Structure 1
Amino acid sequence: MENRLYRQLHNDLSRVRRFIREQDLVSLGPEDRRDLEQAAAGLEDRLQAAEDQLLCAGFLGGTGVGKSSLMNALAGAEVAGTSHRRPHTHQVLVYRHVQAQLPPFVEQSPAPWREYVHQADAVASMLLCDLPDFDSLRTENREAVLQFMSHLDLVVWVASPEKYADRSLHEVLGQASKAAGNFYFVLNKVDRLWDRARAEESLEQMQRMGEHFRSQVAATLARKNAGTTGESPLLFMVSAVEEPPYSVWNQLGMFRESLFTRRSAKQTAAIKAANLEQEMRGMCQPLHAERAALEQGAALIRRLRIEVDNEAAAWDRDGANILESWVHNRLEPVLAQQGPGLKPLFGPARMVGAALREWRRQGECRQDGSLQVDQEEELRRLYPRIENLGNKLLTTVLRTEQAENVRPVVDEILNADRMWDRVNSGWQGVIHNALSWRRPIRGLGLTFSQGAVYGVLTMCLLLGLGGRQAWLRLFEQPGPGAGLEVLFGILESLFSPMGLAALFSFALLMLGAGIRFYRSHEQRRKDWARIRGEQVCAELCRVWNDELEETNRRLEEAQSSLDDKLQALETILNSGR
């Protein structure tokens, strides 16, 4: 096809079908998508077949308006004879020139039809279709006739002075999917208004009736085209029974010249393309509704993202308060036990530690490092905070008109249980890593201090028990004899009252030193647990805040998806036609 409009229509239909297949539409259900896909496929098939230069014209009117006589008068021969009566009132009568090919759409039409072949050369390039009288059409047959009409290039609406204001004519006109520029309106049998004796009054009456008919048609077309008035309807006042030369008031010659003058291929293509364009506009009405739904959905999600951003400070504060309390009360005592135990201690300090732990064992249960986040009641206090966020955002959704199209997407993103599961999973990983970390607590200084203190106390005890004179002789004259003298002196003094008192004092001092070293060791472990707890708390807060950012990210993805669909749809609906 060389016609530019044909190429544009083909490209638009391809984009429509691709959009329907590839995009998840928010306002159209599966059945609506299927119907739209079928309509686009059917229109594309008709676009491919539009190269046929046979112009198809349909004549539509009420009972007794003279459609057959009008077609005969226009053709200059009897193509629609009186014997061509419909066996059924809902049949379409098709008049084809003997050398013309019957278009495929006629044979495929669901409307019942009957064909008649003629030899009137004046209408050899046109297919004349006498459509059923619309005032005798049953409701169940009207759709089939309207579908047949959608394949016609031209439609001639025939009325008479008695029936031009018939409501059924305007009902069918409002339902016809055809370019208004390819409609012809004929007021037939106006000879009944002519009175030679009252010529001037007769002409005025014809003019008033024609203007009234034209205004009614224009109003119907304006309603059909959503208020767009367009060009004035083509209206002809004729009498099909008058023989040439025609009276001045009979516009039959003008109508014949306008309708049946041989058209060039370019003119025929323009007529067919204009009709297909009009039908495509009607087919795309659901896509206009989809565009409105996408615009409203994208605007709604933008508002939700703003609300999420406004919640960030309160979200962070609430999470930090509860997490810090839980870490201090529950996690730090467990972390304090994740060290070397009593290994850095020895002597009295280790004995004190062992005794105290044995004494506390009945009152305290050692944590085994298997904290389960979902079983921690204090942490579950944050679940209502997630629910509160979802309820707040869903309230915004419910207050927005036409929000039901994006409600499933928002519900999926703001599902409190899924959000809580993700937070729990992240927290559990952080806590598992914290409890699995075995960084040793350095105890070299503690070990050296214990050895020094214990050694000094022991040396003082030995010096006191051995006596001053014995030790001086050992230092002045070192030897076995002096050493034995010191040893016997110690043994002699050990069981004396003074020696027992010294031994008791030594034990108290050693116990005091052991307690001091044990407490120092415990404080070091608690300090380490506190520092480690602060680190873990920061990681838990990060997981908590990441969930809000994840929610915002998902909303952003949903908005981006809607924006992409909207952009693709705008390209289709705003294509230059």
Structure 2
Amino acid sequence: MKHPTQFLQNELDQVLDLLDQPFFLTLTAEERQSLKGNAQGLYKRLSAIESGFLTVGLFGGTGVGKSTLMNALAGSTIASISHRRPHTEKVLIYRHAEADPLPALALADVPWQEITHQADAIRQILVCDLPDYDSLMDEHRQRVLQFQEHLDVLVWVTSPEKYADGRFYEFLQLVPKAKQNFYFVLNKADILFHGQSLETGYEQMARVLESFQEHIRGCGITEPLIYALAAEKALNADHLAPWNQFSAFRQHIFQQRDVKQVMAIKAANLDVEVQELLSAFHKEVLNLETFEQTLEDVAKEWKEKHASWLQAGREKIDPWLRKYITQETLSYQNDPSCLVGPSRSLAAFVQEWQKRFTQEKNPLSRLPHFALPEEIAVSLERQLEWLQNRINHRMLRKNLPSSFREPLQGVVDVSRALQEVEERFSHVLTLHLGKRRLPSFWTFRGLQVLTYVLLFAFLL
């Protein structure tokens, strides 16, 4: 299960990634920089909350298995019996080695000792092993009670042998902390099943739990949350007995960690600020959706006019082709290459003589580039201007920002589009005329040769 802060962190990660992209149309560079600064600030504040702890205190008498419970909670051995010396008033604080210590603990009057560990399962849980109530001197009791104000959750640990100890309940009545944050653990409950049938064991556990509950209610806690478990079994066994409630206890502690993070997020108003940050992107999304719909509408109109535009283009281009390109093709008839012998020389001489005294009437034969005919260019320009104006008109009606029109100016650029059409037009015509091969006229040439042979024979 992800931590509550993880969802907001994922959203902020996406925001920062999006702000590094160049495709925004609504947001200016200044707005993007401002949003990026806000997102980075929120990320730092969120990271500070995530690095916070759920501070759990374990309180009980000697020999109730607090260290074993702590190890089972961590999923590995972090606490040792050697850490706890008899008749010491120190609070043992177990903190992950890569987590920051809780600053408030430095102000506590009770002496404390910090022990670091590598158990990632409780990385965000600060576990405090409080001195055994039955080993505290009277002068240290008040200090321990004051230290409990630093705790989010207080777990009261006892066992079937010690749950009826009156000193346990004396302490319970003295603690000023909110009772809804108290959890009671009857550890070592497996001894109730030793040498007994399962049914007898359940009966004994039910009697002990009922008696334990009555003692707690006598201290003013009407609905205590009690877990009967065997921490040692949870630490060393792969499968727990049905009566062992350690899994439920561990899950509840982790839920409290998540609840604390959620409350911290709410208190800092971070969730609202993240949503406000995301609202800028919601506006961008709405504009993009409107922009997409506008282009689809224009494309639909263009498709409706496409056939008529093609027909109008043919009506303009076909007469021009018949007038000029056909003339260029017919000019092949004057090519003397189809002649042989003296007639070819005579025809070439006549052509050269005509070039000196006549001007070429066909501009296509002397132009290296075929310019787009004016009547065709005007018609095409009107159609492109209609498309450009239609897009701008629809965008204005949808109240889209002007930044959306700027990219389209490069796409629907009338002058550039006309230039591209003219280049393609010239290229196609040049290829067409360049690839056109002259007729071979083999029969005509053969007749010419035969005529020359007969004439030569006649003259001889």
**TM norm structure 2:** 0.49
Higher CA-based Rg: 1
